[in-house]
Amino acid sequence: MDSVMVAAGLALLLGGGEGLVRGSVALATRMRLPMAVVGAVVLGFGTSMPEMLTSVSAALAGAPGIAIGNVLGSNIANILLILGVAAVIAPVPAGSAGGEDRAWLAVATAMGLAVIVIGASVGRGEGALLLAALAVYIWRQLARDSAMEPVPEIPGMGAAKIALYVLGGLATLIAGAWLLVEGATGIARALGISETVIGLTVVAVGTSLPELATSVIAARRGEAGLALGNILGSNVFNILAILGLTAVIVPIPAPPGLSAVDLGAVAAAAALLLALLATGRIGRGAGAGFLVLYAGYMGWLALGAA
């Protein structure tokens, strides 16, 4: 039954995330927002909603390992798995979507998260600090990108249809997040596996499916820069918005099973991306290397859980 709940939750998260992203992008284009804002802010926030609702649900259910593991695992998967797949499909130019600048921020937020979690818990004060940093990030992105050319309005997407996509997607996400957390927690307890490992793997990859779908579609359409903006924006939102909001609602104790390797992997993945962006682009070879590194990290988690 737990496996059925996980499968159903993942399906609902994928469907709800797709609906929310479509509605959010359509709303943004109706408001004549630049593509960089759509990629880094609108898509970054929209595709992070599964992670947000899952982490909040996990924290309220008393499963801090899933709450924090979901954020950490999603950030690792976003860079090594999802951006790796997108780069294999089409090389990603560094200059698009302000990639290097946002990568620096992704590294800084990852290291900041490590410092906070090492402190034994993420309390309401730390959560409020993360949300304040999020407000500054959004303001900076809107101010910097406001002079860019806006994207054309998507035809055939009226206000009523946008509302249906956004509200329907959000409702579906809420249901999917509850099912996923309940099922994943049950599996972890039945198998004697740490909730943190479940959060870093099954839950993290599952809640990252909207980013995967969005980035692959963008890469296949020749919009690799949109894929990069989506990944970097999502990683920043995962830490600042998701962990911040979750901690404000309910303080999150440092979960058992969370190691320095897991925290270091988040910062290392972001730092590696930053180094590659400095070369001008992320080619297919680098994308394949990302996938190899992600497979190695999953293997390490599997050995630790065995």
**Closest of 22, 19, 9, 18 to residue 53, by C-alpha:** 9
Phi/psi at 200 (nearest 5 deg)? -70, -20
Token pair 């946002």 in the structure block, residue: 102
Kindly report which listed range (34-43, 238-247, 278-287) carries the lowest average pLDDT score: 34-43
- Count of all residues that appear for the chain in the document: 306
Q: pLDDT band at 170, cuts 50/70/90? A: confident
Predicted confidence band at 293 (pLDDT cuts at 50, 70, 90)? very high
Query: What is the sign of the dihedral through the CA atoms of 274, 278, 282 and 285?
Result: negative
What are the tokens at 75?
């950030």
For 212-259, how does the pLDDT look when each residue is reduced to its tens digit (9 = 90+)? 777 777 777 776 666 777 787 778 888 888 888 888 888 887 666 677
Give residue 290's pLDDT: 94
Q: What pLDDT score does 292 carry?
A: 95
Position 306 pLDDT exceeds 60: no
Query: DSSP string covering 165-192, please?
Result: HHHHHHHHHHHHHHHHHHHHHHHHHHHT
Q: Which residue has the higher pLDDT, 265 or 18?
A: 265
Please write the tens of the pLDDT for every residue from 47-89.
677 777 788 888 888 887 788 888 888 888 988 998 898 889 8
